[in-house]
Amino acid sequence: MVGGEGVRFEPFGESGAEAASAASTMATILAWPVDRAELLVERPDYDALNVLCDLDETRQRLRPERHLITDEVQGNLDRLWTSFYTALPFSEGERAWVIDTIQHSPRIITVEKTVDFVSDQEGEIVAEGVRRRVSGSELMRRWLAWRRETEEYAGQGTLAVARETLGRLERHLG
């Protein structure tokens, strides 16, 4: 909807613009090439993890203007978030644990050491009604393999699903 003086009002407001920007950044980083031969940590790996935290934070702040959004629009948005999160190499509980671990890391941890820091952690989550131990090293191994589309992620196409969904999220929110 366009307001007076050419001002454009979006149903998701400023928080929608922030989430759209984070989705665009994440899609760009996920398209950066990485060495598929080895699971060595590269800049796109830790940058994407940190933007994943930003994206999750902006999603939590997303407050659509209820009078400007229909149930259909909200439903489409919810499906896009679900599509993106299920394409990641983590369950919902694991993703929340990774994000929480990164967000609560000591301030002395540099962005470049994010993967190493998470790899050194262990924790507990509840998944499917069962308490489970999580290993940061296993989750980061899966993250690196997913980013390279190797090991169990070879031929799955879930990295492409994540990138495509991020593009659709950007358009939906922007």
pLDDT tens track for 138-169: 999 999 999 999 999 999 999 999 999 999 99
User: Do 148 and 36 meet the contact criterion of CB atoms below 8 Å apart?
Assistant: yes
The predicted pLDDT at position 5 comes to 43
The predicted pLDDT at position 2 comes to 37
Question: Which amino acid type is present at position 100?
Answer: D
Task: Locate 56 and state its tokens.
Answer: 């999750």
The predicted pLDDT at position 169 comes to 95
Q: How confident is the model at residue 108 (pLDDT cuts 50, 70, 90)?
A: low
Query: How many Cα atoms occupy the beta-carbon half-sphere of 7 within 13 Å?
Result: 5
Q: What percent of the chain has pLDDT over 90?
A: 65
Model confidence at 53: pLDDT above 60? yes
The answer for residues whose C-beta is within 8 angstroms of residue 20's C-beta and 6 or more apart is 169, 170, 171, 172, 173, 174
Q: How many residues does the chain have?
A: 174
Task: Locate 125 and state its tokens.
Answer: 């989550």
Question: Which amino acid type is present at position 1?
Answer: M
Q: How far is CA 144 from CA 21, 28, 66, 164, 170, in A?
A: 24, 17, 39, 19, 24
Residue 125 belongs to what H/E stretch? strand 122-127
Phi then psi for 68, rounded to 5 degrees? -110, 0
Task: Look up the pTM and report it.
Answer: 0.88
User: Do 134 and 94 meet the contact criterion of CB atoms below 8 Å apart?
Assistant: yes
Residue range 108-132: average pLDDT? Answer: 90
Question: Which amino acid type is present at position 171?
Answer: R
Residue range 64-93: average pLDDT? Answer: 88
Task: Locate 107 and state its tokens.
Answer: 């301030």
Instruction: Supply the Cα-derived Rg of the chain in whole angstroms.
Output: 17
Residue 126 forms beta bridges with which residues?
131
More confident residue, 122 or 6: 122
Angle at 122 between CA 106 and CA 111, to 5 degrees: 35
- Which residue from 116, 44, 4, 21 is spatially nearest to 12, judged by alpha carbons? 21
